[in-house]
Each structure stands twice: as structure tokens, then as C-alpha cells.
Amino acid sequence: MSVLITGGAGFIGSHTARLLARSGMDIVVLDNLSTGRRDAALHGAFVQGDVADSALVRLILRKHKVTSVLHLAASAQVADSLRRPDLYFANNTCVTAALLGAMAAEGVQQLVFASSCSVYGNVDTAAASEFDPVFPVSPYGESKLATERTLPWYELAFGLRWVALRYFNAAGAEQGLGEEIAESRRIIPRAVSAALGQGAALEIFGTDFPTSDGSAVRDFVHVTDVARANQLALRYVEQKGSGEVINIGSGHGVSVLDVVAAVAEQAGCDVPWHARPARLGDPAQAISNISRAEELLRWSPGCSSMREIVGSVLRSRGVKPGFKFYTTHH
């Protein structure tokens, strides 16, 4: 199998590229480095460019004899999407349509699409199922859902075989592939940065949600488990599976304040934080039902406990979990 990974120099992409390369797949990474890091693209061929450049994409597909595409490239911040919906529909929906057109033109018929739990919006059930109604409350979620809805039509017209993976909150790190902690918008790296005195106090958006402690509840899944789900989804479409939307999460909810407590415990010091008003578009909770992933992909999370996730982020910063820091925070 020869796989094109769009956004392959990013957080999920770099971890997935490592896993696929180690399993013997031929990898080519396409990334414009707007958020990805060149030094994270350690596996396979690398091309700096934009997925919207159809001529470039078609050349890559031909040159590398690509059989499958893992489409990870996207703008992916809920709050940012509310300020710039034009950017999100352009980068997520329109660019994906351009990619699908290039694939159809070159006869590449296998796709794994990175969707998002943001398509669910405010979930009323304890855990979101793929059969639940979807009501996005942000342009980001809407842009992902719009692409999900186009895929069956490409299947009908061009024989595309596809799977859409609705990622929940990818987190954690592997050795050598940790995020730049100062630049990350993810809560765990920001909490670690605050705890170690290497960044500003953590901002917690919303402390009056209808949850047990007032903070938002999220489903955190280790990026290593996400990479493995990507690998299994690629195998699924290679073996003629198609037309499935599948949740990828831990199946368990953790509140933001519980995340703060977990970081403090393993870092050995408090996490300074400030309460901020809840952001428009942020649901009170987002927890996955992962039964379809277990059934269709034979996938389940293997290292997605909060202890394992936080420990992996600390180790990626060269810190042994449990080490005591004596830092005065203000």
C-alpha cells in the first residue's frame, strides 16, 4: 500500500506516518507547514505544498503510485472558526472537494477522512453514537459534516471507498514527536507548560457547565491510539470496506478540572489557572460510544487513560512523571 498523508507533518499525521512506515507501507507526506513542523515529517517522502493545488496532488498520486489517501489536513479550532467561517469552509470543505477531484482524475479510490466529534454539537446522550442526530454548533463542525455528506456521492459516481473517522480529543505524545508546548492549543500541553512555569497560567473556558464540577467534560484519546485507528481504517478500505462513519475516542469522559488535577499530580506541582467565560460553540460534554470502532475496525484504545496521556506529554518534555518542582506561581 502506498499512502498519501495530507497534513502529515502535524500532530496526528506525524504519529500516524511513523506507525505506517514501521508497518511497511510506503508513505508520502503533503503539508504546507502552516501548522505542521518539517522536523516532525520523519518518515517517507515529504512534499511542501497545499492540498488545494490539484495539479501538485495529481502529480504526487502518479509519481508515488498512491493507492490510498489519509486526509488529515484541515483548520481545526472551534473558537477560531467562529471568527473566520470563510477560512474554515475554504480550507476544510472546498479543499477536500479539490482533493477528491484529483483522486477521481487519477483513479485513486481509497480514502480515510479525518472528521470530528464537533459534528455532534450539544450531545444529549451519555455518549455520542454515529446514529445520533448531528447538529454542529461551530463552522468547524459544519465544515467537517459537509464533507462527510459528499463522500457517498463520490462513492456512487467514482467508486470511492471511504471511511470517516470522528476523532474526539487527541492528546499525548510519543518520543521525538511531542508538540511544541509553547504553540499548542491543546489543554494538556498548556496545563503542563503552566505547571512547569514555562508558560502563562492556564485559561479554563467555562466553570458553570451542567457537569459534576462545572467544567466541560471531554473524551481524550492518546494520539498513538488514533494512529492505530488510522492504520486499521486504511486496511478496512483496502479490503473493500466503505461508507462508514466511526467514532475514535476513549469512551470515557474527563472534566477539564480533572485534567488539571492529573497534571498537577504527575508534575508534582500546582497548575495555575484562571476561569474564563465559556466559548460559543463549546458543548458541555463530548464523550464517544466506540462500539462501531470495536466492531468494524477491531480497534479499541490501548493507552488512553489520563495517567498515560499526561505522563507521555511530560516525558516528551524530558520530565519524569512524579518529579517534584518547587516553582512559585502567581
| Catalytically active residues, by annotation | 140
The CA–CA distances, whole Å, from 95 to 57, 75, 225, 281, 330 equal 11, 11, 27, 23, 44
Report which of 224, 269, 271 is spatially closest to residue 248, judged by C-alpha positions: 224
Can you name the residues that pair with 162 across neighbouring β-strands?
111
Give the Å distances, CA to CA, from 206 to 141, 216, 230, 256, 330.
20, 7, 32, 9, 21
Interatomic CA distance for residues 120 and 122, integer angstroms: 6
| Bridge partner list, 247 | 166
Amino acid at the residue 265: E
> 262-293 burial, b for 16+ CB within 10 Å, e for fewer?
bbbebbbbebbbeeeebeebbbbbbbbbbebb
Amino acid at 46: F
